[in-house]
Structure 1
Amino acid sequence: MSSPPVPASPSDAGSSDGPDVEELQKQIRELTKIRNERQAELLSLRSTHTLKHALDTASSQTIKTSVPNPDGSEDPLQIEDTNLNTILLKQAADLTADKEAWDQEALYRMAGLTSFEVQDPAPNGGKLQGIRIEVMADGKFGTPYYIFLKPYDTTPKPTPSEPFPEKTSSSTHVTIHRHTIPSYFLGSLNSLAEKLLPAPPRLQNLDRLVRDMRRILILHYLRADHLAQVKAKVTENLPQNHPTPSEIPPIYISEFTVDPEARLAEVEWLDSQSFGVKRLGWIALNEEGGAEGIIVKQDGKRVLPMELKIKGNWVRGEADKMSWIDGLFDRLEWAIDT
């Protein structure tokens, strides 16, 4: 007589090659997510198709109503009104088109460059091509800059036979008409225009001019933003603003000024225990925000150890980048002990 089969122990069941429950649950969640996404796309397509189909097939029927007179006869005046459904559908389509246009404009503005056409307000002024350049830092837009272009004047020079030639304009070449670029970048703009917007018949490269000018403006905005943060820290640590004046060292940073181009910063240290003896420093920055030159003087003599501390022990080439400004305030304070 054979013995009954022995049931499998829990340890034996766990060692079987059955499917992994966690893996199956993960696959189910992924498939559910894909199904929900497809359903949302299907609903969107259906609503779009319904709106377009209704606009295409909406009839131009009118509702005619007669206004009865007090004696019961109908007034020959008839009031006509367009189908309200058609009006609502048309308004919905217009709103959709407006939103798409707004989204497209927002996308262009996020790219930082927008081109548009405006009318020259001057007498007999024609169409102008406008270019808006926008820069941002820390998620905030700065002041936009504008460049307005007009067609290149190709009017021939007066001659004895034709002293008053007819005015003509180029259909392919443009020149800068007006702009809001800061005055300290006027040299850069004129140089780019001379190089990239030559007179006919030479080819122009407007895209390159706009890109190069935008790069100059972005670097300026970033330099100014970084230096403004340093200036804010200096202001916070002045004796009149410090929460614990007793912790202020005898020599402290009393002033930090930046030029409009954000290429030169002037620093002043004040020694409160030596009858107001001052140290003056100048920090010149390159276009990328790196250290181009540092000079510190006291009593008309340079303080070289202090200059080296301000520059810091950077790997070769790293002091030429914008990140050099990030720790500038700490290095300015650390250099005081020299």
Structure 2
Amino acid sequence: MSSVDKYRVDITSLKSELTLLSRKRAQLASRLAYLKSTKAVCPRPGLGATHGLMSDELLERDRERGKLLLSHLSEKYDEQQNIHLQNLYRLAGVTAFKVRDPSANGKGDLLGIRIECFALKKFGAPHYMLLSVNGKTNSYDIYKYTVPLHIPLASLAKKYLHKDLGAFVRAVRREIILDVNKRTHLSCLSNVVAIEADDACELVKLEFAFPKYGACIAYLRCNMVDIKSAVVTKFVQKQADDPDVDDEFQGEETETVRDEKLEALMPGRIDQLCVRLATIE
């Protein structure tokens, strides 16, 4: 199931839960209306006016309790609905909010943009952008941000921000998603015992331990989507110079050799690397 399909399933589930809560609220409201209109507690014949007065007091008390119950349920319902609505927006990946920054040098009214990505069954750390209004062009400028430095934010802003705010946010989110997906695919590879990478995850070192094939180290050069090139070395048993050396001692040392078989498998789409490596025994 793709990430988009997972989002659709989550959204459908949340919508179904909202529908059930709406029905429950309607049922409770109907029950309260019944309690208000009915004479559920009626004086029985022959008990006199005192008992009738007590029955009226009990009925009024039930009505007040019903009002309090409905008010409480209404507040809980609204609170739950707000939570579900917020979760729906989070699943969409982008939320906007107003910000007031007293230290913004005359740019106190800011537009905040929060971008979130869902991976490995959870939301990662959100990324924020604060945008100020450019009075001359009636457009937005980037004021502050927490977007990773290797995301080309300046070039995206130059291309989209002064023309179309929505297009700019979508472009930034796309770059963030590609970055997250690349790191996720690399970190979840089978038989990987260690991984090292630079901040942009463009130069990556992977250490493999295949059960039958042996131990290997792969040095990769990547962009956002593809592995462009790779250098792979394999650890093999070092051959002894002296043929009379006991085999027991030959296995204690290893040497690294170029592994052209693995090197040929590495280049290509990062999200398909696991499929290519599945051919290694």
- Select the residue among 262, 265, 275 that pairs with 1:312: 265
The alpha-carbon deviation at position 93 of structure 1 amounts to 1.5
Residue 221 of structure 1 is matched in structure 2 by 180
Aligned residues of 1:113 and 1:133 also touching (Cα < 8 A): yes
Which residues of 2 match residues 1-338 of structure 1 at below 5 A?
44=24, 46-47=26-27, 49-50=29-30, 83=64, 85-122=66-103, 126-154=108-136, 170=138, 173-185=139-151, 188-198=152-162, 204-230=163-189, 233-235=192-194, 256-266=195-205, 282-288=219-225, 290-296=226-232, 306-312=259-265, 319-325=268-274, 328=277
Separation in structure 2 between the aligned mates of residue 313 and residue 102 of structure 1, nearest angstrom: 44
The alpha-carbon deviation at position 178 of structure 1 amounts to 1.0
Separation in structure 1 between the aligned mates of residue 174 and residue 181 of structure 2, nearest angstrom: 11
Separation in structure 2 between the aligned mates of residue 42 and residue 183 of structure 1, nearest angstrom: 45
| TM-score normalised per structure 2 | 0.60
**Structure 2 counterpart SS, 1:261:** coil
Rg larger for: 1
The alpha-carbon deviation at position 179 of structure 1 amounts to 0.8
Separation in structure 2 between the aligned mates of residue 324 and residue 309 of structure 1, nearest angstrom: 11
Name the aligned partner's letter for residue 261 of structure 1. A
**Structure 2 counterpart SS, 1:183:** coil
Residue 28 of structure 1 is matched in structure 2 by none
The alpha-carbon deviation at position 217 of structure 1 amounts to 1.0
Name the aligned partner's letter for residue 148 of structure 2. P
Separation in structure 2 between the aligned mates of residue 258 and residue 231 of structure 1, nearest angstrom: 17
**Structure 1 counterpart SS, 2:150:** helix
**Structure 2 counterpart SS, 1:184:** coil
Name the aligned partner's letter for residue 208 of structure 1. A
Residue 12 of structure 1 is matched in structure 2 by none
**Structure 2 counterpart SS, 1:234:** strand
Q: Number of residue pairs matched?
A: 208
Please report the RMSD computed on the Cα atoms of aligned residues, expressed in angstroms.
Answer: 4.1
Percent of aligned positions with the same letter in both sequences?
A: 25
Name the aligned partner's letter for residue 152 of structure 1. N
The Cα offsets for residues 71-120 of structure 1, whole Å up to 9 and x where unpaired, read as xxxxxxxxxxx955434322322221111111100111112111122222
| TM-score normalised per structure 1 | 0.51
The alpha-carbon deviation at position 125 of structure 1 amounts to 5.1
**Structure 1 counterpart SS, 2:188:** helix
Aligned residues of 2:134 and 2:141 also touching (Cα < 8 A): yes
Separation in structure 2 between the aligned mates of residue 86 and residue 132 of structure 1, nearest angstrom: 39
Aligned residues of 2:192 and 2:207 also touching (Cα < 8 A): no
Name the aligned partner's letter for residue 258 of structure 1. A
Separation in structure 2 between the aligned mates of residue 52 and residue 120 of structure 1, nearest angstrom: 47
The alpha-carbon deviation at position 257 of structure 1 amounts to 2.0
Gaps of 5+ in 2: 1-19, 38-62, 209-215, 235-255
